[in-house]
Chain A
């Protein structure tokens, strides 16, 4: 009796564990349904909030008119929660049919077979998009993602503050950036910072460091695919950030942070910043007169070369989609002129399609115009399958240098060691 009960228990345990691993490792096989019909699931980190939802629902209404037999179920999320949704859907064996994701996501997901190849060629795409925009959606010469929108990082400055100080033009190299920053920094009698000469903290630190690194002639990866972000150029970029905070005191660590209630540039608490193109949207909300009176200017971050950070949102199809044809139809729809223009307008971003350069939206948005005009000097992060593991460590490494806990060289050397371990782990 005891033996039987023990055997049953063991059998039950084995069955449970087997079920568990089968669930974990499983997932349905890719579908071969070539009909443009059925229900497909869309995961989107853009179209956030009520406004975003309204825009997407309007677009999906148009999609339904075009493809009456396809129903789209939408799961709204944000970039901060995107990984959770992707991971759990894939682990649960029910991935989304269409996934909108950032540029750094393509290599990791394509490498592991999670994305379906799209029926597009690089040659064809470069006729519709700037070549720099097409590259992030390509992995090992196969197209996995079509761009909907770009988000870029460059310099923004207050023309009125510059004019008051008698400065005619924005900085054209790192030395000028520091010099102007020092000159425009204001502290009160007690030493409290009231205006930062250069604000490098309102933007995500990694996305501030990278355009500085590219502008200084550095690159993320060496020719052999190994991390190169501890090169002299990269160290020089982090040294510049450290000097702004620790030597020049053009900004105090903690003065502001990404997503803070008020943008210092809009409030007159910063004279210039490394910022996002959609900071213009924040300025329009917080201080619309600055836009009306043309007090906001833009500049390329430049030292050895001009550089601009270029991220973006791409539409992809899951390799395990049961309805790949319907999913590809939705990708085509979301990346066409009408839908992508609506998405960009809602988010204050930069359209990826060349044909939208003349649109009313771009013509009325100077940040978008500036970004589109400078795409030839744009650089993107990502590039290796381990990028999503590596990128999270940048912030702490940069902060450790800004706080004086480590030298820029030490901080980046340690970051490279971690990156190498992540790459080796695969």
Chain B
């Protein structure tokens, strides 16, 4: 186990050799100190992440009756059961749709806002704070405000539509409009953090590249597509992965805006179904099987993301 670096035999003769025992002792002491300092994190990881993960995978293959306190082996029954459930399959589709619209759209808007807020304009700090505000505000509070705006009779949107002679829909009660409404809120809420990451990345782009482009007579659009976007690739990878995971784990805004999965289950998503199965139906094992499926989705997406962005992604 002793490393070569610690061996006294490799020490140059001209230097005063340290006593080997002392070095070993120091190494051991440092290791002990390191383990001691790491211990809280390791214990936290094992207790709060490791054990629940093991439990989730274990319980997914059992029939665990949480009220009676009984447990029995079920093999793949829970997985067969959940994939035979139309609502679970619908929730997977809704999650994909939600992710498709929230991640790329919000990323595109965030890049544009970040570029705009990277200029020298008046009240810059105020604008940046304003865009970041939705990210740090409690989702429930945000959802309640949006619920009022979506209210079909007295809400802001329909009052505005009414002024231009359009009969607005019942946003959150209409199965055709409920998911777009949730997506709209999620995009608005998610832009702040993405914008901040892009802003940090933009400030790391060397300014002389733009000066060189100016000398060559490049237009603003040309500079954006030839310099800014390529150099934002590492940040884009990071934002993409984080946003995908966030989108697949969306719960609170869906839960508050459209309780019970929305009208005719039109906004039910995977996390809500997991919650409903566990706490509405007391079927903890099926909920664990659903969680395993969600985990598999996230794993595959992360791997695909890494493959797509290649080496540049590693720099993020």
State whether these chains interact: yes
Which A residues fall within an 8 A CB radius of B? 16-17, 20-21, 24-27, 83-84, 87, 90-91, 108-109, 112-114, 190-192, 201, 252-257, 260-262, 269, 388-389, 392, 395-396, 399-400, 403, 405, 422
| Contact in complex: B282, A87 (CB < 8 Å) | yes
For A256, list chain B residues within 8 Å (CB): 173
| Contact in complex: A20, B71 (CB < 8 Å) | no
| Contact in complex: A254, B280 (CB < 8 Å) | no
Q: Please measure, in the bound complex, the distance between the C-alpha atom of A399 and the C-alpha atom of B279, giving whole angstroms.
A: 22
Q: Please measure, in the bound complex, the distance between the C-alpha atom of A314 and the C-alpha atom of B43, giving whole angstroms.
A: 42
Distance between B169 CB and nearest chain A CB, rounded to angstroms: 7
Q: Please measure, in the bound complex, the distance between the C-alpha atom of A256 and the C-alpha atom of B173, giving whole angstroms.
A: 8
The chain B residue with its CB closest to the CB of A261 is B151
Known: A25-B69, A112-B68. A257 touches B173 (CB 8 A): yes
For A400, list chain B residues within 8 Å (CB): 264
Contacting B263 at CB < 8 Å: which of A26, A109, A191, A399?
A399
Known: A253-B170, A261-B148, A405-B264. A16 touches B69 (CB 8 A): no
For A16, list chain B residues within 8 Å (CB): 50-51, 54
The chain A residue with its CB closest to the CB of B50 is A16
Q: Please measure, in the bound complex, the distance between the C-alpha atom of A16 and the C-alpha atom of B284, giving whole angstroms.
A: 19
Distance between A227 CB and nearest chain B CB, rounded to angstroms: 16
| Contact in complex: B71, A25 (CB < 8 Å) | yes
| Contact in complex: A261, B170 (CB < 8 Å) | no
Distance between B287 CB and nearest chain A CB, rounded to angstroms: 10
Q: Please measure, in the bound complex, the distance between the C-alpha atom of A16 and the C-alpha atom of B170, giving whole angstroms.
A: 51
For residue B87, CB closer than 8 A to chain A, the reply is yes
| Contact in complex: A395, B260 (CB < 8 Å) | yes
- Please provide the chain B residues from 3 to 30 with a CB less than 8 Å away from any CB of chain A in the complex: none
The chain A residue with its CB closest to the CB of B153 is A269
Distance between A132 CB and nearest chain B CB, rounded to angstroms: 27
| Contact in complex: B281, A389 (CB < 8 Å) | yes
Contacting B67 at CB < 8 Å: which of A17, A114, A252?
A114
| Contact in complex: B68, A388 (CB < 8 Å) | no
How many chain-B residues does the 8 Å CB contact rule pick out? 41
For residue B58, CB closer than 8 A to chain A, the reply is yes
Per-residue interface assignment for chain B, residues 85 to 102, with 1 indicating a CB less than 8 Å from any chain A CB and 0 otherwise: 001000000000000000
Contacting A388 at CB < 8 Å: which of B167, B169, B278, B280?
B280
For residue B276, CB closer than 8 A to chain A, the reply is yes
Q: Please measure, in the bound complex, the distance between the C-alpha atom of A389 and the C-alpha atom of B284, giving whole angstroms.
A: 12
| Contact in complex: B71, A253 (CB < 8 Å) | no
- Please provide the chain B residues from 53 to 97 with a CB less than 8 Å away from any CB of chain A in the complex: 54-55, 58-59, 64-71, 87
| Contact in complex: A403, B175 (CB < 8 Å) | yes
Q: Please measure, in the bound complex, the distance between the C-alpha atom of A203 and the C-alpha atom of B139, giving whole angstroms.
A: 26
For B260, list chain A residues within 8 Å (CB): 392, 395-396
| Contact in complex: A192, B167 (CB < 8 Å) | yes
Q: Please measure, in the bound complex, the distance between the C-alpha atom of A247 and the C-alpha atom of B283, giving whole angstroms.
A: 39
- Please provide the chain B residues from 113 to 140 with a CB less than 8 Å away from any CB of chain A in the complex: none
For residue B305, CB closer than 8 A to chain A, the reply is no
For residue B154, CB closer than 8 A to chain A, the reply is yes
For residue B190, CB closer than 8 A to chain A, the reply is no
Distance between B160 CB and nearest chain A CB, rounded to angstroms: 15
The chain A residue with its CB closest to the CB of B166 is A190
- Please provide the chain B residues from 258 to 277 with a CB less than 8 Å away from any CB of chain A in the complex: 260-261, 263-265, 276
Q: Please measure, in the bound complex, the distance between the C-alpha atom of A261 and the C-alpha atom of B265, giving whole angstroms.
A: 22
| Contact in complex: B71, A252 (CB < 8 Å) | no
Q: Please measure, in the bound complex, the distance between the C-alpha atom of A21 and the C-alpha atom of B279, giving whole angstroms.
A: 19
| Contact in complex: B66, A91 (CB < 8 Å) | yes
For residue B152, CB closer than 8 A to chain A, the reply is yes
For B148, list chain A residues within 8 Å (CB): 261
The chain B residue with its CB closest to the CB of A81 is B279
| Contact in complex: B173, A253 (CB < 8 Å) | yes
| Contact in complex: A190, B167 (CB < 8 Å) | yes
| Contact in complex: A253, B174 (CB < 8 Å) | yes
Distance between B97 CB and nearest chain A CB, rounded to angstroms: 18
| Contact in complex: A389, B282 (CB < 8 Å) | yes
Q: List 19 A-B contacts (CB under 8 A).
A: A83-B282, A84-B279, A87-B66, A87-B279, A91-B66, A91-B284, A113-B68, A114-B68, A190-B165, A253-B173, A253-B263, A254-B170, A254-B263, A261-B154, A388-B280, A389-B281, A392-B280, A399-B264, A403-B264
| Contact in complex: A112, B67 (CB < 8 Å) | yes
For B284, list chain A residues within 8 Å (CB): 87, 91
Contacting A254 at CB < 8 Å: which of B50, B152, B278?
B152
Distance between A281 CB and nearest chain B CB, rounded to angstroms: 21
The chain B residue with its CB closest to the CB of A418 is B85
| Contact in complex: B152, A255 (CB < 8 Å) | yes
| Contact in complex: A87, B278 (CB < 8 Å) | yes
| Contact in complex: A20, B51 (CB < 8 Å) | yes
For A114, list chain B residues within 8 Å (CB): 67-68
Q: Please measure, in the bound complex, the distance between the C-alpha atom of A422 and the C-alpha atom of B283, giving whole angstroms.
A: 10
The chain B residue with its CB closest to the CB of A400 is B264
Chain A CB count within 10 A is highest, among B68, B70, B154, for B68
For A255, list chain B residues within 8 Å (CB): 152-153, 170, 173
The chain A residue with its CB closest to the CB of B162 is A192
Q: Please measure, in the bound complex, the distance between the C-alpha atom of A244 and the C-alpha atom of B15, giving whole angstroms.
A: 96
Q: Please measure, in the bound complex, the distance between the C-alpha atom of A400 and the C-alpha atom of B87, giving whole angstroms.
A: 13
For A84, list chain B residues within 8 Å (CB): 279
| Contact in complex: B280, A83 (CB < 8 Å) | yes
Given contacts A24-B59, A392-B260, 11 further A-B contacts (CB under 8 A): A16-B54, A17-B58, A24-B71, A91-B284, A190-B165, A252-B170, A253-B170, A254-B263, A392-B281, A399-B265, A403-B264
| Contact in complex: B66, A90 (CB < 8 Å) | yes
For A83, list chain B residues within 8 Å (CB): 279-280, 282
For B58, list chain A residues within 8 Å (CB): 17, 20-21
Distance between A9 CB and nearest chain B CB, rounded to angstroms: 13
For B70, list chain A residues within 8 Å (CB): 25
- Please provide the chain B residues from 164 to 194 with a CB less than 8 Å away from any CB of chain A in the complex: 165, 167, 169-170, 172-175
Q: Please measure, in the bound complex, the distance between the C-alpha atom of A109 and the C-alpha atom of B67, giving whole angstroms.
A: 7
Q: Please measure, in the bound complex, the distance between the C-alpha atom of A263 and the C-alpha atom of B264, giving whole angstroms.
A: 22
For B281, list chain A residues within 8 Å (CB): 388-389, 392, 422
Known: A20-B55, A261-B154, A403-B264. A27 touches B69 (CB 8 A): yes
| Contact in complex: B67, A392 (CB < 8 Å) | no
Known: A16-B51, A16-B54, A25-B69. A254 touches B167 (CB 8 A): no
